A and B are shown apart, each in its own frame.
Chain A
Amino acid sequence: MTKYELKNPAGPNLLEEMFDYDSVPKIFFDGPIIEIIDGREVVFDPGEVQARDLVITDTTFRDGQQARRPYTVEQTVVLFRLLSRVGGPNGIIRQSEFFLYSNKDREAVDRCRDLGLSYPEITGWIRADKGDFKLVRTMGLKETGMLTSSSDYHIYYKMKTDRKTAMEKYLGVVEAAIESEIRPRCHLEDVTRADIEGFVLPFVQKLAKIAEQVPEPLRPKVRLCDTMGFGLSYPAAALPRSVPKLVYKIVHEGGIPPERLEWHGHNDFHKAHINGATCWLYGCNAVNTTLVGYGERTGNPPLEGAVFEYIGLKRGLFGIDTAALTEIAAYLRQECHMDIPANQPFLGKHFNTTRAGIHAEGLSSDERIYNIFNTTKLLNRPPGIIINDKSGIDGVALWVNYFLGLRGREKISKIKMAKIGRWVVDQYEKHGRITSVSEEEMIDLLREHLPEHYERAREKGVT
């Protein structure tokens, strides 16, 4: 056993190569990953994600709308524009898929397309039905997703058919799409419960064969749909649940290259995000996501999580505007009445709020201790504090100024907060309170004692 001696440097070692405070923490790997697949050692180099064109795709307006009240056309347009800002000029958020079935769906597509944005590209979503396919043609889209269910649960019990008939139907629609110069994206529904060698690979190999005969823009894409969230990121996990093995098989045995492969996960076992990130590492370029992770049942990988995973893996922003995510969260709360959980990473109201006995002045003097990165710079969200019996007037002042987004000379003097501070102190000293003061109570106090500032904050959408 190696004996380790204490090192006591003159100053702190803050590991800044990894934890540069002004950046998202960078993800480094010590070496290759080795998986045993079909009895052979397969070496994956996680460092090659640096060179690969990883992208995020969005399904907020398709899967995301299956889990909540529908967005209005106006809301869709605003969110689409904000998504474009988040993804930046390099199109890190590369595509967004839309329903095409109702007049409202189609109006949303038209209005978003009229914005003239390069990214996200708009794609459609249809059932594997030639009739539905006319919709795509009418809307003038270049790509559409289509249901190509792959597990026997779906083929035998939902579609009431057999594998051969299902595959022939899927291939018919794929060919029809290509004939109409639309790229088909085959959504392998329930793939983590499917017979990989007995259905998925034969089908995917047929798609690869078709791809050889058509120009690149028409070559079929494959979306791996972990419909029930069964996927596992663990090394050595078995198929069909193993995400690494699935990706490997589709790329190396199915013949679908990384740039035409996408992962669509669900969060039934709390694995949606990590499974998406795992796909990136093992050779799939696109991870399909929704804002706040809203999606069927337990939801999909949250788009905002994928954004920060991307930055960590790529070790740079590459044109991503992370602060636009904060605008999205404010818009979702205010205009779409979305109840974003307070502890939702990156978007929740309390995601960078500390409660545990931290002194306000300490947080103020060096916020790196309790803040994951410079959230003020990257998300326009300074760290917050929870008011309790230890906060004192300094804590109250810090809370108010953080909450109102006031910095430097804009900060309100704590002298103006004497009445708020007194109320807080009395809660604990006179009334024996043992819980922390809620944000709602603090907002009420703001409204009462600093009405002008409260109004300004409300207009900015902070409250």
Chain B
Amino acid sequence: MADLPDDVDKRVKRIVSAILEVPVEEIRDEHYFVEDLDAESIQSVELMAAFEEEFDIELDEQEAMAVKTVGGAVDFIRKCMQEQKS
């Protein structure tokens, strides 16, 4: 299994903070993008686009848009990185 960087969580939260304009220290894994962080539909897509760029991965649109929480995004990105690097 290829090694994964251990700062995925931190980098995801930094992106979420920048796009949704929420202080990074207030973002928790269990936060829902829409319900808790007020993400609009365009922002949800911008988040996924930023994740692709940051982690150099390709996200499946349907799977990506099914991710609802910050922690879910971290897990999903880790899974994609694992699949695409192996």
Contacts and interface: CB of A to CB of B under 8 A. Distances in A.
Contacts of B27: none
11 contacts: A393-B41, A393-B45, A413-B61, A414-B61, A415-B61, A418-B42, A418-B45, A421-B42, A421-B46, A422-B46, A425-B42
A422 B42 contact: yes
A448 to B, nearest CB: 15
A416 interface: yes
A89 interface: no
A287 interface: no
Contacts of B42: 392-393, 418, 421-422, 425
- Which residue, of A394, A413, A415, A416, has the highest number of chain B Cβ atoms within 10 A? A415
Contacts of A417: 45
B57 to A, nearest CB: 11
Contacts of B40: 425
Interface string A414-442: 11111101100100000000000000000
Contacts of A419: 49
Contacts of B37: none
A419 B42 CA distance: 9
B83 to A, nearest CB: 16
Interface of B: 40-42, 45-46, 48-50, 52, 59-61, 64
Contact of B48 (A392, A415, A425): A415
A104 B50 CA distance: 59
A393 B60 CA distance: 16
Interface of A: 392-394, 413-419, 421-422, 425
Contacts, number: 34
Contacts of B52: 415
B41 A418 contact: no
A415 B62 CA distance: 10
Nearest to A415: B48
A426 to B, nearest CB: 9
Contacts of A393: 41-42, 45
A234 to B, nearest CB: 52
Closest 6 CB pairs of A and B: A418-B49, A413-B61, A415-B48, A418-B46, A418-B45, A425-B42
B41 A415 contact: no
Given A413-B61, A415-B59, A415-B64, A392 B41 contact: yes
A147 B18 CA distance: 76
Contacts of A394: 41
A110 B60 CA distance: 56
Nearest to A416: B49
A458 B49 CA distance: 25
Contacts of B46: 418, 421-422
Nearest to A424: B42
B39 to A, nearest CB: 12
Contacts of A425: 40, 42
Contact of A421 (B45, B59, B60, B64): B45
Contacts of A413: 59-61
